A and B are shown apart, each in its own frame.
Chain A
Amino acid sequence: AQSVTQLDSHVSVSEGTPVLLRCNYSSSYSPSLFWYVQHPNKGLQLLLKYTSAATLVKGINGFEAEFKKSETSFHLTKPSAHMSDAAEYFCVVSMNYGGATNKLIFGTGTLLAVQP
């Protein structure tokens, strides 16, 4: 069975400092992994995804994530936080349903706060 665990429910950083949001996954086969961001009272926006190509994935807004099979991790990083990065971040693993559709399994979310 597929699952993801987000290790921190809250992360607080200062503006201009690095961001690290941790995610570990469990999958019985090669997973597809995603990071989505949700700003307050907004929908879900895709930041980046891993689908068995390059293990270092670059996304929007300066975010990137590295797929590490040996550690079953897919941590999200950004070199320098901006105030606008304050949001809820979801690590997600995808499960396929016979080709026609897939099912996203969400982590519990990490709330990122950025202090001025």
Chain B
Amino acid sequence: DTAVSQTPKYLVTQMGNDKSIKCEQNLGHDTMYWYKQDSKKFLKIMFSYNNKELIINETVPNRFSPKSPDKAHLNLHINSLELGDSAVYFCASSQDGGLRGAKGNTIYFGEGSWLTVV
């Protein structure tokens, strides 16, 4: 079974459209993330949720709206898509670190969603 699964894997859409990418993890983790990989392969965090609560929001345009219906799901909705949104979007999850912190906890990534805006 895939631990972190995201759909769709490939998405080609026109500028101005609204699209969603879905993510589910079956690892029982409390924390989920969205990372963006640009055309130069640089990876950067976008959002982090812990038990459905937003923890990290890295100055992402508000056209991007994450939604976490439960702790196993974190979907990414993007409004009014722009050419610059073309990238690979990775969903990920990790276990809550509790009092000792989550610094050393492994983050497990999905296979990525390749978004192309034309």
Q: Tell me the A residues contacting B by CB distance below 8 Å.
A: 32, 34, 36, 38, 41-46, 49, 51-52, 88, 90, 94-104, 106, 108-109
Smallest CB-CB separation from B101: which chain A residue? A96
Give the interface size bracket for B toward A: 35 or more
A101-B33, A101-B50, A108-B42 known, 17 other contacts, Cβ within 8 Å = A32-B103, A43-B90, A46-B106, A51-B104, A90-B43, A96-B102, A97-B48, A97-B102, A99-B102, A100-B55, A102-B107, A104-B45, A104-B107, A106-B42, A108-B40, A109-B41, A109-B42
Contact A100 B97 (CB under 8 A): yes
How many angstroms from the CA of A95 to the CA of B103 in the assembled complex? Answer: 6
How many angstroms from the CA of A96 to the CA of B56 in the assembled complex? Answer: 11
Query: Could you give 12 example pairs across A and B, Cβ below 8 Å?
Result: A46-B106, A46-B108, A49-B104, A51-B104, A98-B101, A99-B96, A99-B102, A100-B50, A101-B94, A103-B56, A106-B42, A106-B43
B99 is an interface residue with CB less than 8 A from chain A: yes
Say yes or no: A44-B96 contact (C-beta < 8 A), given A96-B103, A97-B48. Answer: no
Q: Which of B14-22, B59-67, B79-87, B109-117 contacts the other chain?
A: B109-117
How many angstroms from the CA of A22 to the CA of B55 in the assembled complex? Answer: 32
Smallest CB-CB separation from B99: which chain A residue? A99
Contact B104 A44 (CB under 8 A): no
Contact B45 A103 (CB under 8 A): yes
How many angstroms from the CA of A51 to the CA of B101 in the assembled complex? Answer: 12
